[in-house]
């Protein structure tokens, strides 16, 4: 996931919520890997505005923050990772995740599943997330999940229970044409939900696409051309497709 350019393909936005991941924050992480075996347990708590233990003006205007207040997330993850095949040339990993968060007046409990599998030069990977959530209408134009404006769906002063799902899947191939290169692509939908819809509001499902090819220039430098596309942006059918291309240079030391 580290080679993707889109935040959606890097993180599960129901598990790693944008109002915490985007501006950053403060917190603590613990990790336990018994006997350096295949099982690993991780836990974290992060507050986006941790400089005050009380509600305060956090990174979003008009939205309260604080160490024990919105926006925050607490997460746990159970991972099983192992190798197999001749000389352990292949690897397999599965991660079960859970997040409790309150972000921009959206409270949620979310579960996630990540997997990755390599078979020689070929690999496949993906994730799925499901959230049971509640949004409080505050008239904010900033959402609490990542990339979606929900202010027109729930009127100010009201609340709405909803469920959300997200998924992505991709393929990768190493050493194509050049040793040390990596070609990969993925497709996914970040925010499938059962919130109310209407003309021009939540009447479709956004779909993201990304394709990249990492080219090694030297042991420390690589170039990565990237192509990205989004259809039905912000879950609105009338939005035109978005296309973006870039070339990323990475220096590794």
Supply the pLDDT for residue 238.
Answer: 86
Supply the pLDDT for residue 91.
Answer: 93
Distance set, CA 155 to CA 89, 158, 162 (Å)? 55, 6, 15
Residue that has been written with the tokens 């917190």 in this structure: 27
Supply the pLDDT for residue 216.
Answer: 94
Question: Pick from 6, 142, 161: which is nearest to 70 by CA?
Answer: 142
Looking at every residue in the chain, the average pLDDT score rounds to 87
- Let me know if 141 is exposed, middle or buried by CB neighbors in 10 A (0-12, 13-18, 19+): exposed
Mean pLDDT of the 137-141 span: 59
Supply the pLDDT for residue 52.
Answer: 62
Question: Pick from 234, 153, 161: which is nearest to 196 by CA?
Answer: 153
Q: pLDDT grade, residue 144 (50/70/90)?
A: low
Tell me the C-alpha distance between 36 and 27, whole Å: 25
Q: Which of 60-74, 187-201, 202-216 has the highest mean pLDDT?
A: 202-216
Q: Which of 49-53, 71-75, 199-203, 225-229 has the highest mean pLDDT?
A: 225-229
Instruction: Give per-residue pLDDT as tens, 203-241.
Output: 999 999 999 999 999 989 999 999 999 999 999 998 999
Supply the pLDDT for residue 167.
Answer: 97
Q: Which of 23-27, 187-191, 195-199 has the highest mean pLDDT?
A: 187-191
> Would you say the pTM of this structure is higher than 0.75?
yes
pLDDT surpassing 80 at residue 242: yes
Q: pLDDT grade, residue 143 (50/70/90)?
A: low
Question: Pick from 185, 235, 184: which is nearest to 207 by CA?
Answer: 235
Supply the pLDDT for residue 201.
Answer: 85
The tokens for 122 are 């070929």
């Amino acid at each position: 996931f580290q080679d993707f350019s889109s935040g959606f393909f890097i993180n599960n936005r129901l598990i790693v919520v944008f109002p915490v991941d985007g501006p950053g924050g403060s917190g603590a992480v613990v990790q336990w890997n018994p006997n350096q075996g295949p099982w690993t347990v991780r836990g974290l708590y992060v507050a986006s505005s941790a400089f005050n233990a009380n509600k305060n003006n956090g990174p979003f205007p008009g939205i309260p923050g604080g160490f024990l207040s919105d926006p925050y997330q607490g997460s746990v993850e159970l991972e099983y990772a192992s190798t197999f095949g001749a000389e352990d040339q292949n690897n397999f990993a599965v991660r079960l995740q859970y997040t409790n968060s309150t972000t921009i007046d959206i409270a949620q409990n979310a579960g996630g599943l990540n997997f990755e599998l390599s078979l020689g030069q070929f690999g496949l990977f993906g994730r799925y997330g499901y959230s049971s959530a509640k949004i409080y209408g505050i008239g904010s134009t900033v959402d609490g999940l990542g990339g979606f404006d929900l202010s027109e769906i729930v009127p100010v002063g009201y609340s709405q229970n909803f469920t959300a799902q997200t998924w992505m899947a991709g393929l990768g191939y190493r050493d194509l044409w050049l040793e040390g290169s990596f070609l990969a692509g993925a497709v996914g939908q970040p925010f499938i939900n059962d919130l109310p819809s209407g003309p021009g509001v939540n009447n479709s499902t956004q779909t993201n696409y990304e394709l990249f090819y990492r080219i090694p220039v030297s042991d420390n430098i690589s170039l990565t051309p990237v192509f990205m596309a989004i259809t039905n942006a912000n879950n609105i059918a009338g939005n035109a497709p978005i296309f973006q291309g870039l070339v990323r240079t990475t220096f590794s030391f």
